[in-house]
Structure formats: structure tokens, C-alpha cells
Amino acid sequence: MAAAFGLARKWAERGATARAQDKFREVLALDPDGKAGPFADEEGTKITASYADFARYEIARAAAWSRRPGPDLAPIKAFIADRPKNPLVREAYRQLSRYYGSAGSKEDAATFFAEYASRYPDDPEPLSAWLRRIIRDGGPLDKGKDLAAELRRLTLADPKPGTNQMLAQFYELAGDRAKAEDVYGPAFMQGRVQDLAYSLMVYAVYWVDKKENRDSALAMADTALGLQPGDLWYIRQAAYVRVTAGDTAKALQIYGPAWLEKNIAGAEPHDIRSYAMFWTRTGSNLESALAAAKKAVELQPQTNYFWTTLGDVYDKLGNRVEAVKALEKALELTPPGERAGLQKKLDALKALN
């Protein structure tokens, strides 16, 4: 059984349809009740079913796409009707969807797609295929509007460029330029760019932290930064990836003294402090970090944790006298009930002097 089934799939993969069909029929003859198996199609449909069910499906699918004498949809429709709960039924519907997407009468297509969509009401795929057929036919527009609205609802959390492009095509067909722009205009694509950039940077951070896939991580971080060149979060993350990968020189080019000189006059105090904290943690670029920390306390002298950061930079530089002064100022500005941790830190620093 397994050998016959394997040979059938082998012939099918090679495009030898007639030979494959003969072998699939042999599988059905050997196991008419469908008890043998199951077979897990890990490379294709990702579905697990009996050898016989796969054989029946493959025979029906081949009939639907036969060139001579022509497509015969009866076997695949019978497969759906006879095995409504079989996991391969969804694949059977997909095969019919491909057919009715470009063939068959409008009426037959509408009937099929209505059945397909009702069978899988939370799946955007049937609606997409139906709307694509309506675009091809140039109507009916009223039904298309209903489908487009439902498709937008189903894909709102995770819109796909291909789906939104099709929605825009439909709205153009319906004469609604504003909706076409809304679903597939610059704002939509900028959102896709932002999502891509974030995914790339998160990937890069993940792998450099694990000290694996270094070259890929660096390349993806560079790409993400290229997509969001002025975004401070991406600048920091790209610098972090470089430092973690052992390329401090490149990190300094991205987020070093030149960045601080360019941005210090107009940057938010918290962003200037973040720069100081970043380099203090790495133990590099400390003179520039000190300049940033000083600027931060100059801009917000009443913010206690800005003074803590200044103290941390001085400590990292080995200037414990100034570090103690900064931490004492931080302690002075800290509410009494929140001083315990900072007091302990200050006492430990004084003990080293």
C-alpha cells in the first residue's frame, strides 16, 4: 500500500499524470475502506489523511484540470459531498475556486463561491477569490461592495498587500477613488514598511543576543535602519546590534559623537540621557556619554534620575568624587520613601573612595 501510494505521488510530481492516476486507482483497489495510513503531507497541503482519501482527492483534482476532453468537476464535487468533514475538503474547495475564478458562468461561479464562503465564514480566502471573479466580470458591483466590506473586516488586524491591491481595484471599478486610496494608498504601504522594519530589527537583536547568525543579523539591522533612517529607536537598536556583535566602530558611526553633536541642541532631554545610558552600559564612548549626561541635567536639573545617570558615567570613568556628588544630588531630589536603593548605591560608592 505505502509503496503504491509513494509511486503514485512520485509520478504526479514528475507530471506523469496518467501513470499517477493508475497508481492512485491501485491504492483505492487495495484499500477501498480507507483504513491504511495515515499519510502526513508535510511538504504540500500539511494535511494528514488516509492513503485512500489522498488517492481519491488526487484523482478528482486531476479530473478538474484535465485538458482532454476537458475539465470534469463532478469527481471533486462528489469528494466534497461524500466527505464533508475530511481535512482534504478545504483543498478541494480551493481547486474549484481556481476553476471558477476564471471559468464557468457568472451564475455558476456565484453559486459556488456562496457555498465556499458559507462553509468557511471566517476565512478571507473564499471572499478574495469571489471578489476577484467579480472584478474580472465587471460586476455585480453591489455584491462586490458587500464582499469588500467583509473582507476588510476579516483582514483588518493583518492586512496583506495583495488583498488590499485587489480591494483597490474593486473600488476603482465601483468608482470610489477615496476608498481605493484608503485601502492601498501611501498610508497603507508606509504601515507595511514600518512592520517590515520592526520585524527585521527584532530578528537582528534576537540572533546577536544568541551569538548566532551574525552576518544575517547585521544585514537585517542595516536594512531596518535604512527603512527608518531617522527613527531614534532604530538608531539605538542598530547600534546595539553592532556593539553586541563586536563591531563598536560601526556602532559609533550610527550612534556616536557625530549623532550627539548633530542632535543635542534639539533632542528631548530623555533622549540625550538615553544616549548617555547606552554608552555607559557598553563601557565605550564614555567622554561623549558624559557630555550627554551633563546636558541632560542642565536641561532638567530637578529630575533625580538624570543625576543618577551622570553619577553612573562618572563612576564608569573612574571619577568617584564627581560620581558621589552626582548621586548625592540625585538623593536630594528623590522622595524620602524612594531613597533606599539609591542610598545603598551611594554608600557602596563612598566605601570605595
Q: Residue 281 maps to which CATH number? A: 1.25.40.10
- CA 82/CA 304 separation, integer angstroms: 74
Q: Are residues 155 and 228 in the same domain?
A: no
pLDDT 10s digit of each residue in the chain, 353 long? 889 999 999 999 999 999 999 999 999 999 998 999 899 988 888 999 999 999 999 999 999 998 877 899 999 999 999 999 999 999 999 999 999 999 999 999 999 999 999 999 999 999 999 999 999 999 999 999 999 999 999 999 999 999 999 999 999 999 999 999 999 999 999 999 999 999 999 999 999 999 999 999 999 999 999 999 999 999 999 999 999 999 999 999 999 999 999 999 999 999 999 999 999 999 999 999 999 999 999 999 999 999 999 999 999 999 999 999 999 999 999 999 999 999 999 999 999 87
pLDDT for residue 326: 97
Whole-angstrom CA distances from 3 to 6, 10, 102 are 5, 10, 37
Handedness of CA 341, 346, 347, 352 (dihedral sign): positive
> What string of H, E and C letters represents the secondary structure of 48-98?
EECHHHHHHHHHHHHHHCCCCCCCCCHHHHHHHHHCCCCCCHHHHHHHHHH
228 and 122, same structural domain?
A: no
What residues make up the domain containing 204?
185-254
Let me know whether 235 and 344 are in one domain.
no
Give the span between the Cα atoms of 128 and 155, in whole angstroms: 11
Same domain membership, residue 189 and residue 179: no
Number of structural domains (the chain) is 3
In a shared domain, residues 72 and 100: yes
Give the integer Cα–Cα distance in Å for 162 and 129: 12
Domain final residue, candidates 183, 200, 228: 183
Sequence-distant contacts of 192-199: CB under 8 A, at least 24 apart: 192/161, 193/227, 193/228, 194/227, 194/228, 196/224, 196/227, 197/223, 197/224, 197/227, 197/228, 197/234, 198/224
Indicate whether 160 and 95 sit together in one domain.
yes
Which pLDDT belongs to residue 66?
87
| Residues 14, 100: Cα–Cα separation, whole Å | 26
- CA nearest 274: which of 246, 248, 312, 222? 312
- pLDDT given for residue 89 in this prediction: 97
**Beta bridge partner(s), residue 49:** 39
pTM for this model (two decimals) = 0.78
Indicate if 301 and 327 belong to the same structural domain.
Answer: yes
Query: In whole angstroms, what is the distance from residue 47 CA to residue 90 CA?
Result: 10
List the beta bridge partners of residue 39.
Answer: 49
Do residues 228 and 163 both lie within one domain?
Answer: no
In the listed set 226, 254, 282, which residue is the last one of a domain according to the structure?
Answer: 254
Same domain, 239 and 93: no
- SS3 label, residue 266: coil
pLDDT at 42: 87
The neighbour count for residue 330, using CB atoms within 10 Å, is 24
Instruction: Kindly state whether residues 226 and 275 are assigned to the same domain.
Output: no
C-alpha cell at 26: 491501485
| Predicted local confidence at residue 353, as pLDDT | 74
Residue at a domain's end among 254, 269, 295 = 254
**Same-domain check for residues 135 and 31:** yes
Preceding peptide of 336 cis, ω within 30°:
no
Neighbours of 257 (CB within 10 A): 16
24, 137: one domain? yes
